[in-house]
Structure 1
Amino acid sequence: MGNGIKDIQLAGEFDALKCCVIIPTYNNEKSLAQVIADVKRYTSNIIVVNDGSTDSTAKILSEVDGIEIVSYPANKGKGYAIRQGFKKALELDYHYAVTMDSDGQHYASDLATFIQAVKEDPNSLFIGSRFMEGKDQPKSSGFANKFSNFWFWVETGLKLPDTQSGYRLYPIRAMEKKKWFCNKYEFEIEVIVRAAWKGIKVACVPIDVYYPSQEERVTHFRPFKDFFRITVLNTILVTLAFLIHRPRMIFREFKGKSLKEIYITYVKNANETKGKIAGAIGFGVFMGIFPIWGYQLLIGFLLAHLFKLNKAIFFIAANISLPPMIPFILYLSYVTGSYLMGQGSWKVDADLDIASISANIKQYIIGAIGLSFIMGSAFYVCSYLIISLFKSLKKQNA
């Protein structure tokens, strides 16, 4: 549990950081009082959310001094309880909140780990990664955790060892404007995925965990209903990730950097085959010309990710559509359209700006699609030959 001096120091750090502990509870009368007592050794900033318990929870809470209590008559789910805890914490001007279960599986002594982590890396969301070795962990929990870890990686590109742990530290002030949708267990998936999409760092810290014997365990997880809800949520999140958020996160990574910085950071030191490099260049040129102005990078990043192409090289090549180049692209698109439509003329009776496209939309679209294929293929072939030549010369000089 730690000595008194350490407990006093940690309590002061909780206050300095404006951090509290939120304990959502539903029918955990056997362990609740001890969990609260353990947390009180480290901080008095405690919010207990009574999620419509039908046992003696209300009586137990009425006998505890110095804690905030949120209570409502009907059980609405763990996610709803945590959200109500967040709401109360923000009303009390807390900036951070640690959530821990009321079933006794989490050790209050690990609160020090979360406080140290957030001191070193503020505005991050930390998940307590459980030590599974030697623990009597339910087999269904192990499978569910691996399942959750996989989909979190698909949705965010981040690999974490334990995305299902309920022992977490949330930067609630940084998240206060977010609107949440889930009320049950799946909320704990929604919150970390959407936090990552918002640009909040999500990381794990090591914690210990206690699994009681099978006959002592109290769980409110409903294998079929809750797993179905989690599956539906993941389906929605994966769709949103590939259509919007993964491309936006990649774009955010490159935003504000010069082409030279991107080249040095992501291209020069990249271990790519000549085919992959040439493919990224050709595809970048293709998307830079393709007639979907305003969506070229968004869709291009998504496709580059699916095709496993170097996104930095793609981004550099896609800049063929920079403003100074637009008149040339429009002109060549019109000319290409003219030839593809059987007119075959280099003369263009239109102003070389985007506003004039509407008057010649058919010729422009046909020509731009044709030009994007021609130029993309040409850049691919030329890049491949040049890279091959340089690598050959490099071998001869080695």
Structure 2
Amino acid sequence: MPVNPLIVIPVFNHGASLRDVAKRAMKYGDVLIVDDGSTDSGVAEISDLELNLISHDENLGKGQAILTAVEKARKMGKTHIITIDADGQHFPEEIPNFIEAISQSPEAIFVGSRDFTGQNIPGSSKFGRSFSNFWLRVQTGIKLSDVQSGFRAYPLEIFTVVKTSEPRYAFEVEILVKAAWAGYELKDLPIKVFYPEPEERVSHFDALKDNLRISLLNTRLTMRAFLPLPHRQYDKDAEGRITPIHPMRSLRILLAKDETPSRLAIAGAMGMLLGTLPLIAMHSIAIIIFCSFFRLSKITGLAVSQLCIPPLVPALCIEAGHYLRYDKFLTEISLQTLGYEAVDRFYEWVLGSLVLGPLFAIIIGIVIYVMAFTIKRFLDMKPQ
């Protein structure tokens, strides 16, 4: 089925630039303007243009404007929407690049990666981009160049399976994270960007309220990402319908598609290393952050770390640390050695873990690699 995108321009009081953006976008396909409760009469400036227009009676937020466009696109028989901001920041002449990209990968979300080497780039935009990029990687393990860019292409099917709660700017972060969890690809597409002089710039991003919403959203998403449970994945059945996959089956599919013996070995080794260190009450969080950031198996890392539950591994580390300090092992277990000298034992735990942690990690990594390699080889040899 060929791609058939609808170009969507959400607008809220951008009358000064709307007509120019709309006329340039119309050269590349059907255009829908979603007027999100504007009060500047700017929409009247495009009344003579042959495009689609939907108006909200009040300002509901950019996220809701995009969802309104999704419903209209479905009724028009479209397969994708391409969103572009109405403030003139983006260049509609780059829309063909998005059309070509979705033709090659119709089930991926493409996000325009803005070139920030030009003039008048706000420092807040640079910081906001780096901030959001970091949290996306923690939450999904995916590295994207410009999470906050509004120049994007979405397949409509994503909005069938991904449920969002944010109606405003935070929506653009939420949809990326949840789409990635559902199994959809997120891809960069380089774009140019234009920022006018600060006194000419029109932005409706509320630095206090919208940043607070994004921070609260990131907190919720990160907490969910920390749970050592697989996210529900989606696939297509024999008839092309999008269907959910059971979480356990989803885990097997992910392991079959993405994991390799070496990556499983690294995840297990890091789980062992971090589990050995005296990160009291922080082991699971440290392992999940590390594995999420580097797209390693959280399940493997957490499972291996259970081998480090007291008392065995901490006791071995304390013994090793005591030997390094005094050239002899600790043989007296009493209130004096474990109570009054607790600070000394903790120091020895730290010292011993720095020696035994890497050793245990190497051993576990080798064991997991051999096991995974053997299983993978068996599966490869098994008749399909």
Query: One fold, TM greater than 0.5?
Result: yes
Q: Is residue 50 from structure 1 mapped to residue 48 from structure 2 by the alignment?
A: no
Amino acid across the alignment from 1:149:
N
Instruction: Give secondary structure in 1 for the equivalent of 2:157.
Output: helix
Q: Is residue 22 from structure 1 mapped to residue 19 from structure 2 by the alignment?
A: no
Distance 2:44 2:262 in 1: 66
Distance 2:254 2:91 in 1: 44
Q: Is residue 63 from structure 1 mapped to residue 48 from structure 2 by the alignment?
A: yes
Distance 2:364 2:52 in 1: 70
Residue number in structure 2 paired with 1:231: 215
- CA 1:276–1:20 in 2, change beyond 3 Å: closer, same or farther? same
Distance 2:110 2:140 in 1: 16
Q: TM-score, normalised by structure 1?
A: 0.64
**1:210-260 deviation digits (Å, cap 9, x = unpaired):** 1111121101111011111111111111111111666768977751489xx
Residue number in structure 2 paired with 1:97: 81
Distance 2:136 2:16 in 1: 33
Instruction: Give secondary structure in 2 for the equivalent of 1:30.
Output: helix
**1:358-390 deviation digits (Å, cap 9, x = unpaired):** xxxxxxxxxxxxxxxxxxxxxx98x949969xx
Distance 1:202 1:96 in 2: 15
Distance 1:386 1:159 in 2: 25
Q: TM-score, normalised by structure 2?
A: 0.66
Alignment of 1:111-126 (within 5 A): 111-126=95-110
**1:24-68 deviation digits (Å, cap 9, x = unpaired):** 00111110000011011222x111001111112231232222x11
Structure 1's consecutive aligned runs of 4 or more residues displaced over 3 angstroms after TM superposition are 244-254, 268-273, 277-280, 300-315, 383-388
- CA 1:127–1:313 in 2, change beyond 3 Å: closer, same or farther? closer
- CA 1:308–1:206 in 2, change beyond 3 Å: closer, same or farther? closer
Residue number in structure 1 paired with 2:68: 84
Residue number in structure 2 paired with 1:193: 177
Higher helix share: 1
- CA 1:307–1:18 in 2, change beyond 3 Å: closer, same or farther? closer
Distance 1:52 1:251 in 2: 45
Instruction: Give secondary structure in 2 for the equivalent of 1:60.
Output: helix
Distance 2:7 2:132 in 1: 25
Alignment of 1:301-320 (within 5 A): 305=288, 311=297, 314=300
Identity %: 35
Q: Is residue 276 from structure 1 mapped to residue 269 from structure 2 by the alignment?
A: yes
Amino acid across the alignment from 1:267:
P
Distance 1:102 1:386 in 2: 52
Residue number in structure 2 paired with 1:9: none
- Are the counterparts in 1 of residues 110 and 187 from structure 2 also a CA contact under 8 Å? yes
**Count, aligned residues:** 291
Residue number in structure 1 paired with 2:187: 203
- Are the counterparts in 2 of residues 22 and 49 from structure 1 also a CA contact under 8 Å? yes
**Displacement of 1:270:** 7.4
Alignment of 1:93-172 (within 5 A): 93-172=77-156
Relative to structure 2, which stretch is displaced further, 80-89 or 20-29? 80-89
- CA 1:152–1:60 in 2, change beyond 3 Å: closer, same or farther? same
**1:266-301 deviation digits (Å, cap 9, x = unpaired):** 22587859x928949x99xxxxxxxxxxxxxxxx99
**Displacement of 1:307:** 7.2
Structure number with greater Rg is: 1
Instruction: Give secondary structure in 1 for the equivalent of 2:153.
Output: strand
- Are the counterparts in 2 of residues 148 and 163 from structure 1 also a CA contact under 8 Å? yes
- CA 1:245–1:203 in 2, change beyond 3 Å: closer, same or farther? farther
- Are the counterparts in 1 of residues 182 and 231 from structure 2 also a CA contact under 8 Å? no
Distance 1:149 1:277 in 2: 24
Instruction: Give secondary structure in 1 for the equivalent of 2:164.
Output: coil
Amino acid across the alignment from 1:276:
A
Alignment of 1:217-296 (within 5 A): 217-243=201-227, 255-256=252-253, 266-268=260-262, 276=269, 279=272
- Are the counterparts in 1 of residues 266 and 365 from structure 2 also a CA contact under 8 Å? no
Gaps of 5+ in 2: 234-246, 277-282, 305-358, 368-384
**1:325-351 deviation digits (Å, cap 9, x = unpaired):** xxxxxxxxxxxxxxxxxxxxxxxxxxx
Distance 1:62 1:385 in 2: 68
Gaps of 5+ in 1: 1-14, 284-299, 319-379, 389-398
The partner residue of 2:168 within 184, 198, 203 is 184
Q: Is residue 35 from structure 1 mapped to residue 31 from structure 2 by the alignment?
A: no
Distance 2:220 2:271 in 1: 34
- Are the counterparts in 2 of residues 125 and 201 from structure 1 also a CA contact under 8 Å? yes
Instruction: Give secondary structure in 2 for the equivalent of 1:17.
Output: coil
- CA 1:313–1:132 in 2, change beyond 3 Å: closer, same or farther? closer
**1:165-191 deviation digits (Å, cap 9, x = unpaired):** 000000112432433211111011111
Distance 1:192 1:93 in 2: 23
Residue number in structure 2 paired with 1:286: none
- CA 1:254–1:301 in 2, change beyond 3 Å: closer, same or farther? farther
**Displacement of 1:313:** 9.9
- CA 1:270–1:241 in 2, change beyond 3 Å: closer, same or farther? closer
- CA 1:269–1:385 in 2, change beyond 3 Å: closer, same or farther? closer
